[in-house]
């Protein structure tokens, strides 16, 4: 599990909706609640590609 820099989290937005993201430390993902997508974090690097994101359910 890799922590993400809080400063980075402040500037990253969902590439699809341009809304803020929520960090899920347990799954090492950045969550876009509006787009219902979870962007993976690999080796401490957020992968901000829609095609790499996992769809999430409510």
- Residue 28 is assigned to a structural domain of this protein: yes
Residue 1, domain member (yes or no): no
In-domain check, residue 41: yes
Q: What is the pTM of this model?
A: 0.89
When divided into structural domains, the chain yields a total of 1
Could you report the per-residue pLDDT of 1-57, keeping only the tens digit for each? 567 888 988 999 999 999 999 999 999 999 999 999 999 999 989 999 999 999 998
The answer as to whether 30 is a domain residue is: yes
Q: Which residues contact 14 (CB under 8 A, 6 or more apart)?
A: 20, 21, 32, 34, 35, 37, 39
């Amino acid at each position: 599990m890799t922590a993400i820099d809080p400063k980075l989290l402040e500037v990253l937005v969902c590439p699809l909706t341009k809304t803020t993201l929520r960090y899920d430390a347990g799954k090492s993902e950045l969550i876009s609640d509006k787009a219902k997508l979870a962007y993976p974090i690999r080796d401490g690097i957020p992968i901000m590609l829609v095609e790499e994101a996992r769809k999430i359910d409510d």
